[in-house]
Amino acid sequence: MIQGQRGNEVQRRFIRLDEIEQKTTMTKGDVFAAVEEKRLSLCAYVDLNELGSLVMRDKKMVIRSVFNYQGLTRLTPDLSHQFAVLMQPQQVKLLHILEPQNITAWRSISEVYHNIKQCDYAYSEKAPNQPDVAFWAFAAIRVKPTAANSLSPLLSVLENACGKALNKETIGFDVGPEMRQAQRLSVEHVTVLPEQLRVDLKEIIDVFGEAKIRRTLPEAEVSDSVSVDILLSHPIEKVVCRILQVYGTELKAPNVWDVMREDARNELSRQFDIDGYIEEINNERLIWMDDSGRESQVTYASFRQKYLVKVKKHLKERVVTG
């Protein structure tokens, strides 16, 4: 969950792809472009058994434990790119576990699998304590019979025919009783479907800034902002006031300007310019129209040095005197 700056707004951290334009000021195309550029990674909701937690030792991946998991994961940048380009089911080998509190059945390899004689990756005999932070894991740990195990029925037939036991010297590999029950520890892929994909709002904020996240202004705050607006004479000051009430007075000038620009694009449902004063806004200036239909403009420099400073001072004084 993400906590709003005003302290009373909480929203889900991970959203579905069809919620991007509801929860952010970005389009799905904007997000996918960032994924293709590997600035963002996609996440996926999974429900899997027998994953393998990982640790790097001497630049090699070592399996530490086996566990079950139901929750959110982050995909690798390459796999995220594949999803963004193709939007088709993908085979997944590595997952970044984001909600360790949702782990169950945390066990050592030896607790789950027995008589392992071969393995794709090295593994720890004992499982460490279950982590409480995000970590990487193999999506599926499995065991398969070794060659000697698979050939065990045939070897028994040959021994009966020869009338003597076979050994390493006679056939070239160990076929003792223990090896005929031997297992190979393997890492496999799982399939992730497009409908399992999610976007991490925290990552959106980290890459693009908090102004990209839409926040619905509660009814109580709307009525509260009206009383504040009465004390502000300029229409742009009123718009800025509403923005700062939602995002906090520490929001920087470029971010406030960005919120105004995004808000102005929603001509039918503006959240901050509720009276529709702003006609046009770009990187350098905005044009607004007063109640008599007369156009005026405010440059970004004037906004930053005059209007924003006045509103921030007004809100901070209101907190002190309130």
Which pLDDT tens digit goes with each residue over 83-130? 999 999 999 999 999 999 999 999 999 999 888 878 889 999 899 999
Report the chain's mean pLDDT, rounded to a whole number: 83
Looking up tokens 């050592």 gives 108
Mean of pLDDT values over 20-35: 92
- The amino acid occupying position 122 is A
Alpha-carbon torsion 134, 137, 139, 143, what sign?
A: negative
pLDDT for res 135: 95
Alpha-carbon torsion 240, 246, 249, 253, what sign?
A: negative
Per-residue pLDDT tens digits for 195-231: 999 999 999 988 988 878 775 544 434 444 444 455 6
DSSP per-residue string spanning 129-196: PPPSS-EEEESEEEEEE-HHHHTHHHHHHHHHHHTS---HHHHSS---TTGGG-EEEEEE-EEE-GGG
pLDDT for res 93: 97
Q: What percent of the chain has pLDDT over 70?
A: 78
Per-residue pLDDT tens digits for 131-185: 999 999 999 999 887 655 554 545 554 545 564 555 545 554 445 555 455 678 9
* 8 A C-beta contact, residue 127 and residue 64: yes
Q: Where are the domains of the chain?
A: 14-152+168-212, 228-320
